[in-house]
Structures are given as C-alpha cells and as structure tokens.
Amino acid sequence: MNCIINGVCDLFAPPTQCAAITLAAVAFVAGVLATCIVCRLCRGCGCKSGKAQSRQGARPQQAPRRVEQPFEKRKPHPAPADGSVEIYVGNLSYDMTEDQLRAEFEAFGKVNSTRLVMNRFNGKSKGFGFIQMPNRDEAERACAAINDKEIMGRRVKCNEAKNLI
C-alpha cells in the first residue's frame, strides 16, 4: 500500500509534474465521456427516473410536441360605411371617459360615436380612441384644433384614422 502512495506522490514531484497534470486531464475527460455515455443509455428511453425500461424494442417516449399556432392578426376596424370620417385621438389621459372625449369634439360639430380602446384584462383605457363625425369639414376643423392641445394634463395627438382594409 505504501508503494502505491509513494508512486502517486512521486508523480507530483517537480521533475514529473507535467506527467501528473496530463494524467489528471485525461482522467477528467474520460470521466466526462463516461458520464455522457451512461446518461444517454439511461435517459434514452425518455424516463425521468434515469432507469432504462426493461421492455425489448420499447421506443423512447417523447413529450407531445406543442403545435405552434400562427399569430392571428386582429381584423382592423372597418371604415365607416355611411361616409363619415373616423378620427384617431392618441395620448389621452387614462382617466378620460367617452363622454368627456365626446364633449371635446362636439364643440366643433356633430359626433356620431366615440370609442375608447380598453385593456381587456383590467378594463382600463389604453390612452387612445376613435371619434366618428359625419361632416368632413367639421372633422378636419376639430382635428386641427385638438391636435397638440393639452387635455387633462396630456398633449393629445389627433389625425384621420387609417383604416387598413
């Protein structure tokens, strides 16, 4: 036993230090390879316990693949069929209501409808909305007057909505 210990100690002596480092590196690489091989054999069946199945010809079970659904684009809001003008209003205060938005635009003419876009999860405003006005001249005047106007502490952006249909 002393002979083996003395032999190992001699490997780490200064003249043979390079051989000892080489031996340690080879042992490390061999250990990693052995671990990889064992892991492949044991986990090849797909079981989580690490033990291979004992059935002959058993195919490895794979987790069911999740089929990725393509991203569905939301259909854009259609252009008004009655010939009215739809106006986009952005950078609104999150506290603004549809009635307050309607009041801002009714100062310039008739408003058919107002629609604030809401977050579907918490029901709060997303900070933009749409106005429909039947007369194009009134809509253009209202948009020019309200664009860059400060309403409820926010500079509002206003322009004709771009219907992408």
Architecture per CATH, 85-160: 2-Layer Sandwich (3.30)
Q: β-strand 154-155 against 157-160: which pairing, if any?
A: unpaired
Measured CA to CA, the distance from residue 104 to residue 87 in angstroms comes to: 13
| pLDDT, tens digit (0-9, with 9 covering 90-100), for 146-158 | 999 999 999 999 9
Distances (CA, A) of 125 to 81, 143, 146, 158: 26, 21, 19, 17
Average pLDDT of the chain to the nearest whole number: 78
pLDDT value for 28: 78
pLDDT value for 158: 94
pLDDT value for 27: 74
The SS3 call for residue 156 is coil
pLDDT value for 22: 72
| pLDDT, tens digit (0-9, with 9 covering 90-100), for 15-31 | 656 666 776 776 777 77
pLDDT value for 82: 78
Question: Are the beta carbons of 164 and 148 closer than 8 angstroms?
Answer: no
Residues found in the chain: 165
| pLDDT, tens digit (0-9, with 9 covering 90-100), for 86-136 | 999 999 999 999 999 999 999 999 999 999 999 989 989 999 999 999 999
pLDDT value for 109: 94
